Amino acid sequence: MPKELLKCQPGGRQKMTDGAEKTISVPEAGRRYFDLCRGASCEATKRGDIPTIRIGRLLRVPVRVLEQMLDSAGEHVRNDGAEAV
């Protein structure tokens, strides 16, 4: 992604020029995408259900990866609910 499309926000957040954040906090991801409380969001990251990246001590959720994961979640299941082989 060209750097001119990114601008640094207060608090170290980076947003694309269209206003979309590239990463969000674990509690925000749990709340926004799964309607989870803070504790359940943290447990989901420990299980690997919510993808994260670590930057120093900071744990962030890459929005693009999470949305791609959700988009492809039902692709391996057939219409009748049985797993496709």
| Tens of pLDDT, residues 13-70 | 555 556 689 999 999 999 999 999 999 999 999 999 999 999 999 999 999 999 999 9
Q: Enter the tokens of residue 14.
A: 């980076």
Where do the domains of the chain lie?
21-71
DSSP secondary structure letter of residue 13: -
Q: What is the pLDDT of residue 35?
A: 97
pLDDT of 31? 97
Q: What is the pTM of this model?
A: 0.67
Compute CA distances 4 → 11, 15, 25, whole Å.
Answer: 19, 11, 24
